[in-house]
Structure 1
Amino acid sequence: MHRNANFIKDTLPHAHIEGTLPQSINFSIDSRTVTPGDLFVALRGQKVDGHEFIKDALEKGAYGFIVSHEKLDLARAQCAHIKGPWCIISVADPFNALIELARTWRAQFNIPVIGITGSIGKTSTKQTLAHIMDCAHKRYIVSAGNQNTLLGAALTLLKIRSEHELAIIEMGISKRGEMAQLARLVQPTTAIITGVGHSHMEGLGSICDIAQEKRDIFKYFKEDSIGIVNGDNPLLASVGYMHPVIKFGTKTINQVQARKIQISSDRTTFILKLYRQKFTVNLLDCHEGRIFHTLASIAAAHLIGIPIATVLSSLEKLPVVAGRYERRAITSGGYIINDSYNASPESMKAALLALEKIDTFNIKGAVLGDMKELGVNSAFWHRQLGRFLRKVPSLAFVILVGDMVKWTRKTMPVNIQVFMAKNWEEAVALLQPLLTRDCVVLVKGSRSVALDQLVNTFAPAIPDKIITKPIEPML
């Protein structure tokens, strides 16, 4: 299938088109990554306007532009000196035009499309499932990085080609109504809800409201569509669905179960019960969340017919997802556990429990930042975090970063040495003298606290993002 002039004209009948449309069309929204022949879509963001980068896109070889009607003269002026063919497509709203193009393009494909959402573990589940597809030699398209918004999903869908056998789309929301919009665009044939927790509460409301929004991923299911949900989560397991559902988790009610779980310093072992079959699974990770990411991925892989032997083999060398409990060596010795991508009460507890499970004689510390978007209950959850630290008795010191963590300090155990920092820069200065070759430090906080900057200051990224052997205890 090709995106040609007729595709543009049929999808955007009210667009004003000047110049010559290309025979094959690719889209770009970032002037820095434009490749020759792309159509640059000038989007207005909160801070920048893509129309200001039309010239930059031309210099990178853009064939033409999708612009708003009021910016047509600006685009004309930039194209006036082009000697070769070019085109300008002006529309009422370039963002809506791009979404409509993606929706139309998606409708042309009859392949499995797996949508993934949840309060915790979307990206890790996506990466695990993609890794299984790699090992099964499947040709697929997957959401890049954290492109899980309406725009991100549209860009991913527009990359689908006739050779692809399936698509894996991450779907994240922060406001009410967003999941229905995403589901209408993506039209998943299978959808996973990894779990429901306390995140984005300012925009989504109570945890019951969050669950309801997440379940809207099934809104446009067809008769043969199948949902995959966390069966350990009552807000997902106790609901009646209009379509078949596969449940995963540790409880016996689930069709895909993890039984006899054993978690040590550097690995997790459990018995996988896949309907009536049983298998041994070994994961080179001590984070309990990895079990649920794995189960959800196994359920999806099973649905599309991946042999269980291939699945089990792939789990022995899972990808390390940047910023999600990612171990990085400190240049001076020891380790930082980079879990700085985001934070919620549930993910904070899981990361701290995983830190406690690490068997080492070395000093353990943590840099914990604010958990954002918890709404009116923010102070409560930060106080709960302080109380929870009693379950991490091996913790020697904590650096609290931000504003809301002042409530965490009030409820912390008295035996933990505590430091306060307003931002990541202050935290760097506080952490520097505490780092020794005999330490392991967990770094976790909401994305806006920017603790990834602290991590990068002390520990370069791991070049190889696949775990192929166990990480030995630091004795």
Structure 2
Amino acid sequence: MISWQLISFFSFLIFIWLLMRLGIGLVYWLYLWQRKEYRFDRFWAHLKLPEGRRQVMIAFNPFIFIARKPKFTLRVILFFGLILLVDYQLYFSTLRLLSIWVRQWPILLFPIFSVSLLLIFWITPFAAILVNISIDFLLKPVYGLFVALAKLKLKSYHPLVIGITGSFGKTAMKQILREVLATQFKVLATDASVNTLLGIAKTILFKLKSNQKIFIVEMGAYKSGEIKQLTDFVKPKIGIITGINPQHNELFGNQEKIVQGKYELIQALPRDGLAVFNGENSLTAHLAKQTKNVKVKVYSYPSKPYKTGLLGHFQQLNIQGALIVADYLGVSRLKALQVVEQLAPKEMLLKVEKGWQGCLVIDDSHNANPDGFWEALQVLKQMPAKRKIVITGGIVELGLVAAKVHQRLGKCIAEVADRLILTSQNFEADFRAGAGEKFDQKIEIINSNSALKSRLRKLVNEEAIVLLEGWNWSARKILLKSNF
């Protein structure tokens, strides 16, 4: 009798534990789907990586906590509510099937509760997939209505639309251009890295005003045809391609498709439009030469650097591109240069902040592309410090060129830094191959929050500089006391 009471008691404790773990697990799956923009292609690409598989295996383990929080939006609330509803129905359906055992042996009540909850815990990730499909179906007409209303408003207000796309530099170009053009026009630009159809539609509906004469739109894509969808919507007159590299190569399929996808912006311009290309990037420079249907401008590094508060030599290139557009629209060069001089790093741009234990943090945590990573390393190289540390998880969605890219980055890290901390195992071999044998002992794999904090406590101080590269929730929270 005592043994059954103990079994019942421990089953009750396990039941409470599983209930908490299920709740945390639900929030984690929401976070992961949101990170991948609820796209199955991006989610699948994540699962192909060793770190993605490791995270999923941990998430399936009921005795390990993995805490992540999504940004609470209407879709997240709907997602959470529907998964709870599905789990609730499945749980009590399972209990009804097992109720015959409880009637015969009441002592089995909590063991059966626990077993049922464990089954639901393992089923939840698959339920999340079905819920995501259902939400897409339910929200499709709502999104369609948003886009239709936004299109009507845009047509009514009729601002000059500037589209910006590229594998890197889109957000920086947008922010610089907005500030420069604001010296003469009322300007609206999409927020931060908002670059999807729905995000742009929301910006138009809730932020566009009749007196705003210029609308700057950042355009993102993971597949061919997605830029065209955006250009059909906003009808840009000026198009800027900031540069092309292998970013999202896995989703596009190959680099040729990336080039074609970005060029959809230029193909959409009217005959009296303007196409602006980064002349320092070989792929965009080639596109500039083949463009005949509209006026073409190409920008390169200035012979004399502009005075500015922006961090990194590469920002000189973005400034030059923005000034070309400003000149075309008749903005005073003197006023534009005054604004450029006062520019300072804002959200989503490379910046230096005071971090944990007095260290300096080069925050490039919102960036995840080869060119941006390389430029951030050049900034690290130029800054004096007794200890230089790079923290990264690597760059995802590069497809077949991932090894080559990470080997190149590994070589550069070995030249400019004293230590490399990898927060995932995805590209460890490639980083090590690029860094070489002499640097091999200075590379660490740390993929738990507690271990990372413990290690950084010993490494960082007022004499250290840390480059935080790519999306890294744990490191950013530790070093900058901040969440994404």
Paired residue for 1:366, among 368, 390, 396?
A: 390
2:372 corresponds to: 347
Q: 1:115 to 1:404 in 2, by over 3 A?
A: same
1:47: how far off? 4.4
1:333: how far off? 1.4
2:435 corresponds to: 412
Task: Find the aligned partners of 2:179 and 2:410 in 1 and give their Cα distance.
Answer: 36
1:141 corresponds to: 188
Q: 1:303 to 1:170 in 2, by over 3 A?
A: same
Is the contact between residue 350 and residue 364 of structure 2 (CA under 8 Å) also seen in structure 1?
Answer: yes
Paired residue for 1:227, among 262, 275, 300?
A: 275
1:454 corresponds to: 475
RMSD of equivalent CA atoms:
2.8
1:246 corresponds to: 297
1:259 maps to 2:307: no
1:332 corresponds to: 357
Task: Find the aligned partners of 2:297 and 2:450 in 1 and give their Cα distance.
Answer: 46
1:230: how far off? 0.7
- Provide Cα deviations, 1:91-137, integer angstroms capped at 9, x if missing partner: 97111221122222222233211111111111111111122234x15
Identity of aligned residues (%): 25
Paired residue for 1:157, among 193, 204, 221?
A: 204
| Matches for 1:30-45 after TM superposition, within 5 Å | none
- Provide Cα deviations, 1:137-156, integer angstroms capped at 9, x if missing partner: 53221111221111111112
| Matches for 1:6-21 after TM superposition, within 5 Å | none
- Provide Cα deviations, 1:350-375, integer angstroms capped at 9, x if missing partner: 111121012x2432111122210011
- Code of the residue aligned with 2:402 in structure 1: it is S
- Code of the residue aligned with 2:295 in structure 1: it is P
Is the contact between residue 357 and residue 461 of structure 2 (CA under 8 Å) also seen in structure 1?
Answer: yes
1:293 maps to 2:318: yes
Task: Find the aligned partners of 1:122 and 1:427 in 2 and give their Cα distance.
Answer: 32
Task: Find the aligned partners of 2:174 and 2:360 in 1 and give their Cα distance.
Answer: 26
1:384: how far off? 2.6
- Provide Cα deviations, 1:207-237, integer angstroms capped at 9, x if missing partner: 2221111110123221211111112223222
1:311 maps to 2:336: yes
1:399 maps to 2:421: yes
Is the contact between residue 250 and residue 399 of structure 2 (CA under 8 Å) also seen in structure 1?
Answer: yes
TM-score by length of 2: 0.67
Task: Find the aligned partners of 2:433 and 2:459 in 1 and give their Cα distance.
Answer: 22
Match of 1:107, SS?
A: helix
Task: Find the aligned partners of 2:397 and 2:475 in 1 and give their Cα distance.
Answer: 22
Is the contact between residue 336 and residue 455 of structure 1 (CA under 8 Å) also seen in structure 2?
Answer: no
Q: 1:303 to 1:419 in 2, by over 3 A?
A: same
Task: Find the aligned partners of 2:477 and 2:338 in 1 and give their Cα distance.
Answer: 32
Q: 1:183 to 1:399 in 2, by over 3 A?
A: same
Q: 1:45 to 1:91 in 2, by over 3 A?
A: closer
- Code of the residue aligned with 1:213 in structure 2: it is G
- Code of the residue aligned with 2:151 in structure 1: it is R
Match of 1:221, SS?
A: coil
Task: Find the aligned partners of 2:231 and 2:237 in 1 and give their Cα distance.
Answer: 10
Match of 1:172, SS?
A: coil
Task: Find the aligned partners of 1:92 and 1:202 in 2 and give their Cα distance.
Answer: 26
1:323: how far off? 4.3
- Provide Cα deviations, 1:393-429, integer angstroms capped at 9, x if missing partner: xx11111121223121233244442211225654333
1:188: how far off? 1.0
Task: Find the aligned partners of 1:405 and 1:336 in 2 and give their Cα distance.
Answer: 23
Is the contact between residue 174 and residue 218 of structure 2 (CA under 8 Å) also seen in structure 1?
Answer: yes
| Matches for 1:83-232 after TM superposition, within 5 Å | 93-134=141-182, 136=183, 138-158=185-205, 159-232=207-280
Task: Find the aligned partners of 2:250 and 2:264 in 1 and give their Cα distance.
Answer: 19
Q: 1:379 to 1:328 in 2, by over 3 A?
A: same
Q: 1:315 to 1:190 in 2, by over 3 A?
A: same
Task: Find the aligned partners of 1:336 and 1:32 in 2 and give their Cα distance.
Answer: 28
Is the contact between residue 273 and residue 294 of structure 2 (CA under 8 Å) also seen in structure 1?
Answer: yes
Task: Find the aligned partners of 2:185 and 2:83 in 1 and give their Cα distance.
Answer: 38
Is the contact between residue 195 and residue 219 of structure 2 (CA under 8 Å) also seen in structure 1?
Answer: yes
2:454 corresponds to: 429
Match of 1:436, SS?
A: coil
- Provide Cα deviations, 1:36-81, integer angstroms capped at 9, x if missing partner: xxxxxx76999458999xxxxxxxxxxxxxxxxxxxxxxxxxxxxx
Q: 1:96 to 1:48 in 2, by over 3 A?
A: farther
Task: Find the aligned partners of 1:145 and 1:310 in 2 and give their Cα distance.
Answer: 24
* Greater alpha carbon shift after TM alignment, 236-245 vs 383-392: 383-392
Match of 2:418, SS?
A: strand
Task: Find the aligned partners of 2:259 and 2:434 in 1 and give their Cα distance.
Answer: 29
